Copies of this chain bind each other. A is one copy, B any other.
Amino acid sequence: MADYSYGTVISSRIRLARNINGYPFPAKLKSDRQAKEIIRSVSSAINRVDEFVLKYMDGISDDEASILVENRLISPALLDNPTHSAVLINESGDVSIMINEEDHLREQCIRSGMSIRKAYAEMSAKDSLIARSLPFAYDEQLGYLTACPTNLGTGLRASVMLFLPALSLGGLMPDVVKSARRLGLTVRGAYGEGSVAEGYTYQVSNEVTLGVTEETVLKLVEQVVSKVVEIEASERERLKRGEEGLAIKDKCLRAYGTLTNCALMSHGEFDKLCADLKLAACLGYIKISDISAVDELMIKMKPSNLNVLAGRSLSAKERDEYRASYASNRIKSLCQKR
């Protein structure tokens, strides 16, 4: 029997918001000098812990900055005030600590698959070590103090990225969003706040940070995700056997056909076709040995990543040509038609 939960959970992300005692929140920092002082303190605290690379936002090229955003290692907001901000990134690239974004520290760990526990364990261990040499702003009653009240308390945001083609195509996402909200969770399109989900991809995350333990939050997110995965699975089966099944199959197969036979491919079209390619794998029309490799390829094919791959700054047309050639070869090697 087909495994209809295949490829549903893309990745898990833990984010902790922290601030340092004795400094105003980043938006209120008086000078570059003060901002740089914070950057140095955080950097030396973490580098007692692990091998992290420090990148000042006013010390990198536009292309480097874009790549950090494309790879989700920094938020675009970190670039708003580049003389104040920096990021620390570990060797394997799964942990990054933004300095002077909305809070002094935004610690983040991303792991593929359903791994919020592992990600939390890793991030929390690093956080404790940093806390040994940096006095975090903490209130016995409230918990960690943050620039925005929505992060107050645990400072924890646990989120899981989900691929939900059947719920999307079946028009059931509004119900999922509503049910999740009742439980204190937010479900939104993965690309941009409140946006309609491109590529059938959604992010489930906790809303509440105040008056709850980290354990409660992680458990809730796990439970809801597991339920959503289950509903998605049964909807996939329905979609495949339903009246529109053949049209869906046609759309999926064509996506594979176009991805593996083209000479020009824009970034927007590529993402759309990859979503349909993944759907083809979910419904069993195409075999993909490792579906997370498609997600990795989607990041690699973003404009700035592509420049790095090509070894130079490409024009828009050159990029579309390079993407078509690189991606079609890669997808051919990843896929096997059934």
Contact = CB atoms under 8 A, between A and B. Distances in A.
A41 interface: no
Contact of A254 (B250, B258, B317, B321): B258
Interface string A228-249: 0000000000000000001101
Nearest to A253: B261
A317 B257 CA distance: 21
| Shortest Cβ-Cβ A-B pairs, 10 listed | A257-B261, A257-B257, A250-B263, A249-B263, A250-B264, A253-B261, A257-B258, A256-B261, A254-B258, A254-B262
A324 interface: yes
A250 to B, nearest CB: 4
A247 B250 CA distance: 24
Interface string A65-83: 0000000000000000000
Given A257-B257, A258-B257, A324 B250 contact: yes
A185 to B, nearest CB: 37
29 contacts: A246-B263, A246-B264, A246-B317, A246-B321, A247-B263, A249-B263, A250-B262, A250-B263, A250-B264, A250-B324, A253-B261, A253-B262, A253-B263, A254-B257, A254-B258, A254-B261, A254-B262, A256-B257, A256-B261, A257-B257, A257-B258, A257-B259, A257-B260, A257-B261, A257-B262, A258-B258, A258-B261, A260-B261, A261-B337
Contacts of A258: 254, 257-258, 261
Contacts of A264: 246-247, 250
Interface in A208-228: none
A257 B253 CA distance: 9
Contacts of A247: 263-264
A259 B260 CA distance: 12
A259 B261 CA distance: 11
A136 to B, nearest CB: 54
A52 to B, nearest CB: 43
A260 B262 CA distance: 13
